[in-house]
Structure 1
Amino acid sequence: MDPNHEKDTKAESQSVATVRGPDSSDEIELPGGWLYRRPRLFGRWTLPHFASPIVQLCYVAFVFFLCPGMYNALSGLGGGGQVDATVADNATVALYSAFAIVAFFSGTVCNKLGVRITLGLGCFGYSLYIASFLSYNHNQNAVFVIVAGAILGVSAALLWAAESVIMISYPHESKKGKSIAIFWMIFNFGAVIGSIVPLAENVHSNESGSVGDSTYIAFLVLTAIGMALALAICNADKIVRHDGSKVIIIKHPTWKSELLGLWEVLKSDYYIVALFPMFLASNWFYTYQFNDFNLARFNLRTRSLNSLLYWFSQILGAWVWGTLMDMTFLSRRTRARAGLVGLFAITMGLWGGGYSFQTTYDRASAAVPSSKLDWTSDNYGGLCVLYIFYGIFDSVWQTYTYWILGAISNNSRKLAILAGFYKALQSAGAVIVYRMDAELVSYMGMLASTWGLCAGSLVFAAPVVWLKITNHSELKKDLEFSDEVEADLHVKNEV
């Protein structure tokens, strides 16, 4: 051990607080200050301190509840809440084009600026985007919507980079599945609440139309609150886990070291390219689900109900899959392989069912206003169940992908870069598929591209899952990646 480090540790211990964890009789030492003060619940039981992984995870999930959650609620209606999806499609192409470019470097930006600043910058675009649709209701200014979409792409890339660091590097590797599930549940509960707004507004109307100003105003207020709350998040260097260990970070990153880090990851973890098709597919299915299924076949109030059920089903799917991925009676390698096989089976079964329904309509028939289905229609029950399972599929796909990234490393710097690759490829896929929809590719063609990409990408990912996912991440490899790290002595408990 470095003697200087030992002296620093002893000096630091003089200003720490000793507390007793709620799940252990062992006393642990935390630094002084309000960030590490544990509110007493009753008796000996206390709540986690603010700078703990679970509190920070829930906090950032609530920010996502208010910002991306409202965006998802709006997107789930199809066409951004408008009857014609063309403007929303073009704005989404601009959004994901900017997202794809910026996301590639977003992990680098997050490592340099820190989680708090990155998260704050990332929330701005959501309010602007929703305001642009409010404006469009009155002046039909499509250019404003498209520009707002591009700005949102930049913001979202930063926001998701910061969130990924919190979600997959703060928790112990044995709890990453549950952490991903908790985030995804709270985040999607925002979309559930957001979906109630247009549903309540249109519950007595069976017409097909655009959402009103009140829906956009409600979403705008909520995203503004989220933007304000984002500025109170803690940076990674302040985080202390329940056992006293800290997150592996680089102390003083430079722009040069972070840009070189992109190359270092691709060089040391070259096999990550086999996961790129899986990253590409992770937003591809939204276009078909939202525009070519929900918007194409249902009137406004039924679309609103479908959207609510879609996002609510994600809460269930994330919890179940995240819990399964953390099962302790199976090794992590076995869980990774079983998860991939299970996801492939779900993909084939679900999209096979979607194909069966897709044979009943096309773009021409869906364009007839009288063809829109209502929740009182005879065949609505089966289609509602199908849409619920589309939502579950999304949460399972995202949860598993994040879990795989978390199984590759525990180093927050590397994970930020990997998450940047993930979001960049994810956004590039969205650019392609939304453009396909705007160019009026047949609904069957949209479904076929979605089904084929999802299934094929899992085949490409199989060698990585089988050969590269180990039972524990190597601490030595994680430490070697960063030139300087802040690694507590207790970090060895993680492996």
Structure 2
Amino acid sequence: MEERKTVVEYSVEPAPRPPGWMYKAGSIGKWSTSWYASPRNQLAMVAFVCFLCPGMFNALSGLGGGGKADPTLSDQMNIALYSTFAVVGFFAGTVVNRIGVRLSLSFGGIGYCIYSISLLVSVHKHVPGFNIFAGAFLGVCAGLLWAAQGTIMMSYPPEQQKGRYFSWFWCIFNVGACIGSLIPLGENINVKTNETVSDGTYIAFIVLMFAGAVLALFLCDADKVVRTDGSRVILMKQPSWKTEFIGLWDTIRAEPWIVLLFPMFWSSNWFYTYQQNAINGAYFNTRTKALNGFLYWFAQIVAAVIIGPLLDIERVRRTVRAKAALVSLFVLTVAIWGGGYAWQKKYTRETVAQKDFVPWDWETKGYVGPMFLYFFYGMYDAVWQGIVYWIMGALGNSGRKLANLAGFYKGLQSAGAAVMWSLDSNKLPYMNEYASNFGLLCASILVAAPVVFFKIKDSVPVEDELAGTGETLEDVLPPGAVEQIRAGDEKI
């Protein structure tokens, strides 16, 4: 007799929420609000933590060289950052499952604050040891923060809303980067040369990043979250370090084809070095770099608003959406990065290093072309990240499994970034950096195609998610749904 799998679709009235203040819905005027421990509110809080921490970090990095005229120190710090990020990120899902998303996010936020402090100190004192330590420490912190964020964004929402949840998160997160870019733009509005940003810029980033670390402490952990229908996030009951490390191995052993996604993970931050240092940092003056940074992160908001709802179109089967998304991503890669070749032919690392080179300003004739290119690079980043997160979310709903996938994602992403920052530090020609991006992005999409075309299902059976967690249907589904399922009334 064929084994029967349960798809999570049922028709029951929303279950009563548990007692307590965090499950009481409120209202603002005529609009009702979700309860504190709802997926939407928790995702919004995480988005604001990322708004204040990695969002500000992105704004600072987007200036090229961490806001410094000479990118050498920033390159060295980022090599340390992404090297430790790669190691910690690979196991970060295990740590998040053990200590919870709240502490993981708060600890992660502290690293961003210390990183910015070290850059401020380096403006006045030669402290390379402190700078390298700050970069390495941020790698540890960021690994935990992003694994926790990925767990929340992929496992909290219902299957049919994972694209929208990515869209909401990515928009709020990148508003932080936009506002962060306006800080150096305002501070340096009259600086038409290529100089280090002011102390006030760094101080503003430090204060905002610390606020993000504090905000994370007000989150609730995943076991407290209750969805609209009364269902809960699938977790491991009473996890230990041993069970979590075993779960990390089981994720690969049970589904070895996941490794075909690893090239996409590796290449997902590879292009930041080229875009931030070889384009924005190399060719433009201080105030124009800040404007370009703002446009880059604003483009991500625009793209996220578009891509999220498209990935969740319910009248199209998820398997069809997945294939269409991957094909569209390949077409965008060829179109946008193909256009980037025309720009990169204009200059080399040697030409921008000459004493008579004058960095471009937004008033320079011909600026509109590279401005739009940089804008489309920003849109491309959001589309790439959104599709990769959505693919991972489509492979399951278990918080435990998705935490491990998020860890793999951020670990490999950071390993790739560490290699690219190292290559940039060793003065790899800009055209070579460009070519590595174009080739790696196209190749990784092709390698991932078998997973997207053959392994993504229209829905994931509950029993598959509960295997090995110690959870039961009664633990994760609302009252009434389990009785329907056992009576054979579930919708397929």
TM-score, scaled relative to structure 1: 0.93
Query: Which of 64, 76, 79 is equivalent to 1:93?
Result: 79
Structure 1 residues not aligned, in runs of 5+:
1-23
How many Å apart are 1:140 and its aligned residue? Answer: 2.8
What's 1:5 paired with? none
Q: Contact conserved, 1:128 with 1:148, CA < 8 A, in 2?
A: yes
| Superposed CA offset, 1:270-318 (max 9, x none) | 1100000000000000010000000111000000000000001100111
CA contact (8 A) 1:365 1:371 kept: no
Q: Which amino acid aligns with 1:127?
A: C
Aligned-partner Cα distance in 2 for 1:429–1:205? 34
Q: Output the amino acid matched with 2:358.
A: S
**Counterpart residue number, 2:42:** 56
d(CA) in 1 for partners of 2:14 and 2:89?
A: 41
Distance in 1 separating the partners of 2:465 and 2:227: 18
Indicate conservation of the 8 Å contact 1:189/1:315, yes or no: yes
1:192-211 alignment runs, 5 A limit: 192-211=178-197
**Contact 1:246 1:488 survives alignment (8 Å):** yes
- Partner of 1:445 in structure 2? 432
Alignment of 1:112-127 (within 5 A): 112-127=98-113
Determine which of 370, 389, 414 is the counterpart of 1:427.
414
- State yes or no: 1:397 paired with 2:387: no
> 2:330 aligns to what?
344
Q: Paired residues, what number?
A: 471
- How big is the shift at 1:364? 0.8
The answer to whether the 8 A contact 1:172-1:494 is kept is: no
Q: In the alignment, which residue of structure 1 is the partner of 2:350?
A: 364
Q: Is the 8 A contact 1:294 1:306 kept in 2?
A: yes
Structure 2, gaps ≥5 residues long: 1-10
Would the aligned equivalents of 1:296 and 1:366 in 2 still touch at CA under 8 Å?
A: yes
In structure 1, the residue matched to 2:228 is 242
Does structure 2 retain, via aligned residues, the 8 Å contact 1:414–1:481?
A: no
Q: CA deviation at 1:328?
A: 1.1
1:30-109 aligned within 5 A = 30-42=17-29, 46-109=32-95
Q: In the alignment, which residue of structure 1 is the partner of 2:4?
A: none
Q: Determine which of 435, 458, 467 is the counterpart of 1:471.
A: 458
Maintained 8 Å contact 2:264/2:445: yes
Letter in 2 for 1:448: A
Which of 482, 487, 490 is equivalent to 2:469?
Answer: 482
Q: Which amino acid aligns with 2:336?
A: L
Residues 173 and 494 in structure 1, CA contact (< 8 A), matched pair in contact too:
no
Q: Verify: 1:458 aligned to 2:438, yes or no.
A: no
- Deviation string 1:362-403 (CA, Å, 9 cap, x unpaired) is 011111353311101111001100000000010001010000
Native 8 Å contact 2:13 2:229 kept in 1: no
Q: Which moved more, 1:248-257 or 1:383-392?
A: 248-257
- Residue 368 of structure 2: which of 354, 368, 381 is its match? 381
Partners of 1:341 and 1:488 in 2: how far apart? 35
Q: Does 1:169 align with 2:183?
A: no
Contact preservation (8 Å) 1:30, 1:36 = yes
The one-letter code of the counterpart of 2:225 is I
Letter in 2 for 1:345: V
User: Deviation of residue 25 (structure 1)?
Assistant: 12
**Cα deviations by residue, 1:166-225 (Å, 9 ceiling, x for unpaired):** 101000010000001110110011000000011011112211101010000000000111
Q: 1:205–1:301: 8 Å Cα contact kept in structure 2?
A: yes
Which amino acid is the alignment partner of residue 114 of structure 1? G
Flag the 1:90–1:180 CA change in 2: closer, same or farther, 3 A.
same
Q: Deviations over 1:246-271 (max 9, x none)?
A: 11111200111000001100011111
Aligned positions of 1:250-265 closer than 5 A = 250-265=236-251
**Given the alignment, which residue of 310, 313, 319 partners 2:305?**
319
> RMSD of the TM alignment (CA)?
1.6
Pair 27,477 (structure 1): closer, same or farther in 2 beyond 3 Å: closer
Mark the CA change 1:266 to 1:25 in structure 2 (over 3 Å): closer, same or farther. Answer: closer
Q: What secondary structure sits across from 1:210 in the alignment? A: coil
The answer to whether the 8 Å contact 2:267/2:441 transfers is yes
> Aligned residue for 1:284?
270
Secondary structure of the residue aligned to 1:55 is helix
- AA at the equivalent of 1:408: L
Match of 2:8 in 1: none
d(CA) in 1 for partners of 2:14, 2:310? 31
How far does residue 143 in structure 1 lie from its aligned partner after superposition? Answer: 2.2
Paired position in structure 2 for 1:414: 401
**Superposed, which structure 2 residues align to 1:299-318 within 5 Å?**
299-318=285-304
Q: State the one-letter code of the partner of 1:267.
A: R
The corresponding residue for 1:12 is: none
Q: Tell me the CA shift for residue 67 of structure 1.
A: 0.5
> Bigger CA drift: 481-490 or 319-328?
481-490
- C-alpha distance in structure 2 between counterparts of 1:46 and 1:37, whole Å: 11
CA contact (8 A) 2:64 2:281 kept: yes
Amino acid at match of 1:306: N
TM-score normalised by length of structure 2: 0.93
Q: Distance in 1 between matches of 2:367 and 2:39?
A: 43
CA drift at 1:142 = 2.2
Cα displacement string for residues 316-346 of structure 1 (whole angstroms, at most 9, x for unaligned residues): 1111111110011211001100000000000
Is 1:159 aligned to residue 148 of structure 2?
Answer: no
Deviation at 1:494, TM superposition (A): 10
| Residue identity in the other structure for 2:391 | I
Question: Could you say which residue in structure 2 is the equivalent of 1:220?
Answer: 206
| Matches of 2:191 and 2:124, distance apart in 1 | 21
C-alpha displacement of 1:245: 1.1
Cα distance in 2, alignment partners of residues 193 and 28 from structure 1: 40
